[in-house]
Structure 1
Amino acid sequence: MERTEPDRYLTTRNGIYFYKRRVPTLVVALDERQPIIRASLRTRDLAKARALRDGYERADDELWGALLCSDSAEAAKRRYEAAVRRVAALGFTYRTTMEIMQGETGAQILDRLRVLLEHKPNSPETNAVLGVVERPGVRLSEAFTVYVDKIAAPELTSKSDEQIRAWLKVKKRALKNFINLVGDKPIGEVTREDALRLYDLWSDRIAPPTDKEGKRRKPTHSASSGNRDIGNMRVLYQSYHEHLGVKNIDNPFDRLGFSDKHKKAKKRPPFPTDWITERILTADALGSLNDQARGIVLAMIDTGARPSELANLPPEKIVLNAPVPYIDIKTRLDEDEDGPREVKTVSSYRQIPLVGLALAVFRKHPNGFPRYRDHGSNLSATLNKHFKVHDLFPTERHKIYSLRHSFEDRMKVGGVDAELRMILMGHTSDRPEYGQGGSLEWQRDQLLRIALPFDPGIV
């Protein structure tokens, strides 16, 4: 029967829909339900019957694939996936027998038993409802592959190649750290004790114990690094089990993390305005930088945009022939000429009027900065090296990103509207959205109040 036939495997008896399907010849000797499978869908509604039929159909496909599979691990996986789909078609969540006994109420268990009256003992339906099909022992590394290739794949479609590499890097680091501690064990066998070992690893790095002489040791990592590792393992564990159809599972990584009371104190300091005008906006300061790297630095000063946002602007998002020139920052989609590129958050979608330095930069670079498009690490290395070699950082705590904080401070001092400041910085606001934050003309006039004087020759 063609899979495109909308009512395939559906029959009716007294107005009730049934799933009816012949067992394939290849598995007749292996499936006790042969030659014909017949199961009541307990509904008179055709749309609902089709949806339930789809669940039975996929479950049987998985089961027959498992029966024919010579790889025992793959066969176990297919049997389990078939059971998950079959029990979902019957209106339940798959749980093992032990989980049913420990976690379900008497009424819920009774509902499962009622369904068994319609099916033979030891049938796929009975085994699925009773939870006797073992979860496959999929190792952590295998679960991670499923997570990357199937579960998280949709969220990667808007990321560029560089962003995907960065995304994978932190996920792989978390997995590697955890496997080094507990081994590449089946993900279903990960315990709270295992998760605590990862927590302890990071605790020793974030808040190391005193040495033998009672002296406090210096931390080697921040709380955010530990939280990122634990969070990535939490997401992997949860997402993988949800992918299999397992609900309400206890996640061993839940409620583990590190607080950072001094996070605000660690915030990157802004460049003082006089440092920018007297040390950076000079003929010698940026002269040896290549044109595009220099352009990005100068544009940051009067837009407050992130370096990656500026570096990845496509030409069509640099609008110079409008009454108010502006740049348009938003996620690029896959069909765009330059490929996909994800902006940090939806709140980061914004149009920034071009004034002062920024306007001069984009008039010189109307096509943007292709040298650094999707090459953020190269840009970062180039700028950091130049600023260090030429003593352009006021302190060791200052970074290129500090120019963004300087822009925000200048807006505050200049009396720029608070809501506009959040919009231009791409920050999330708790305030309900009314309107679009003012016209570009008004926004431009606000920014003109803080534009810095500069020698056009430095651009």
Structure 2
Amino acid sequence: MGGAMKRVEDNSYLEQRGRVWWYNRRVPERFARLDTRRRIKESLGTTSLEQARHKRDLLAEADDHYWASLLIAEEAGPASNREAGEAVRRRYRMATVKALASGFTYQPIDHLATAAPIEEALARLLAVHHGAGPQEIPKVRDAEALLGGAPKPTVTVSEAFQIYVSEIAYNAQLYKSPNQQAAWEKTKRTSIQYFIDFAGDIALEEITRELALDYQKHWAGQVKPKDPKAEAIAPNTANRHIGNIRSLYADYFKHVGEEERANPFRNMHFKAKTRTEVPPFSSEWVREKILAPGATRKWRPELQLITLMLIETGCRPSEIINLRVEDFHIDEPVPYISIRARNDREVKTDTSERDIPLVGISLEAARRAAPRAFAHYYDKGELFSA
């Protein structure tokens, strides 16, 4: 299914007639045999260029989904479940963005028939006929969008997660290195698999509040097990796994235009300790295990230098491992290293960006490491922990 709304550059597909802006787009040649319209012309109903561009983006995305659904239907033949599901999702997405472009939110036809004010239903009917023109039959896709006739797609939890990774969570992955991206996805996937193991790979929309509460009880039993011999998990571990399925639910339905859908996992949180004490390595342990002559002789030279730099800098291992040559400033009056985010790698938090003075054994290790940094371990933190 298509991703977040595509931003069309400049004034493409826009035409001004008098003061009013119109959407004017030629049907791409590859879809000409499937869409008999040579050109798509539609008034955007605004004299504002900014509003016209926004509506243009919505209509462009709607058309892209429409053509994709036609192509899927043509190529699939007797469609597989996956192909049929993708075509339905494209069609539904097209309807939601088409409705937005026309000034409405997409509502299923049963809602419009039973719960919507009569004035809204009439406004939608008039908009459908207005879009068709006085001598034309209203287009099916316009009627589906404004009158809620598009078949509603269903996706399983695992399918929704694949869509989440490939299309929705773009910003979350934008500046991650390949290794960071893999670790991010693995963490999310683990949480989603826990839910599937508990409830099955059911349709996302079939998750009820009752089921979500049962899932919360499942984790509560692990945070505080009844068996005194059982090992309890940390509250934050349970919070992370529930939070990941909650985020998937919210972000998926936001993606398909159902921002107002109540999240069954809302307001679920286990109270954790405000601070977890992490005991430091004792000076004796450091002297015997790292600084003693020959203690690290079997280690790779790079690994020895990384470990020594950790001692007096207070850095995370990943921060030292992923230093580049240009991050070493050995010849400055006060030698230091720079921890910075980059386009191809994130740091843990904004406050993680800092300059760290080098002294003592960390300075000597940095002098030796500076010419090449740590190429063997770069973006391979698992090698360090192994």
**Shorter-chain TM-score tier:** 0.7 to 0.9
Matched-pair contact (CA < 8 Å) for 2:106–2:146: yes
* Paired position in structure 2 for 1:228: 240
* Paired position in structure 1 for 2:366: 362
Q: Is it true that 1:75 corresponds to 2:79 in the alignment?
A: no
1:198 Cα deviation (Å)? 2.9
User: Which residue of 331, 339, 361 corresponds with 1:329?
Assistant: 339
CA–CA distance in structure 1, aligned partners of residues 312 and 10 of structure 2: 61
Q: Is it true that 1:137 corresponds to 2:140 in the alignment?
A: no
Cα 1:63–1:355 change in 2 (3 A) is: same
3-state SS of paired residue (1:66): helix
Q: In structure 1, what residue type is equivalent to 2:359? A: V
Q: In structure 2, what residue type is equivalent to 1:166? A: A
1:309 Cα deviation (Å)? 0.5
* Paired position in structure 2 for 1:314: 324
* Paired position in structure 2 for 1:118: 127
CA–CA distance in structure 2, aligned partners of residues 296 and 191 of structure 1: 50
Cα 1:185–1:10 change in 2 (3 A) is: farther
3-state SS of paired residue (2:376): helix
Cα 1:8–1:35 change in 2 (3 A) is: closer
CA–CA distance in structure 1, aligned partners of residues 41 and 376 of structure 2: 64
* Paired position in structure 2 for 1:205: 222
1:69 Cα deviation (Å)? 3.7
* Paired position in structure 1 for 2:175: 158
TM-score using structure 2 length: 0.80
* Paired position in structure 2 for 1:409: none
1:369 Cα deviation (Å)? 2.4
3-state SS of paired residue (2:122): helix
User: Which residue of 325, 347, 353 corresponds with 2:351?
Assistant: 347
Cα 1:279–1:7 change in 2 (3 A) is: closer
1:140 Cα deviation (Å)? 1.7
3-state SS of paired residue (1:352): strand
3-state SS of paired residue (1:252): coil
1:368 Cα deviation (Å)? 2.4
* Paired position in structure 2 for 1:299: 309
1:326 Cα deviation (Å)? 0.5
1:199 Cα deviation (Å)? 2.0
Matched-pair contact (CA < 8 Å) for 1:328–1:350: yes
3-state SS of paired residue (1:42): coil
* Paired position in structure 2 for 1:256: 268
Cα 1:301–1:130 change in 2 (3 A) is: same
1:254 Cα deviation (Å)? 1.5
1:304 Cα deviation (Å)? 0.3
Select the structure of larger CA radius of gyration: 1
1:358 Cα deviation (Å)? 1.0
CA displacement 1:408-438 (0-9 Å, x = unmatched): xxxxxxxxxxxxxxxxxxxxxxxxxxxxxxx
Cα 1:361–1:27 change in 2 (3 A) is: closer
Cα 1:323–1:102 change in 2 (3 A) is: farther
Which runs of 5 or more residues in structure 1 are unaligned? 211-215, 334-339, 382-459
TM-score using structure 1 length: 0.69
Matched-pair contact (CA < 8 Å) for 1:10–1:53: no
User: Which sits farther off after the overlay, 352-361 or 271-280?
Assistant: 271-280
* Paired position in structure 2 for 1:182: 199
* Paired position in structure 2 for 1:58: 61
The percentage of aligned residue pairs carrying the same residue is 36
Matched-pair contact (CA < 8 Å) for 2:112–2:121: no
CA–CA distance in structure 2, aligned partners of residues 36 and 286 of structure 1: 72
Cα 1:45–1:226 change in 2 (3 A) is: same
1:351 Cα deviation (Å)? 0.5
* Paired position in structure 2 for 1:43: 46
| RMSD of aligned Cα (Å) | 3.2
Which structure 2 residues correspond to residues 368-447 of structure 1 after superposition, within 5 A? 368-381=373-386
Matched-pair contact (CA < 8 Å) for 2:321–2:374: yes
1:219 Cα deviation (Å)? 2.7
* Paired position in structure 2 for 1:268: 278
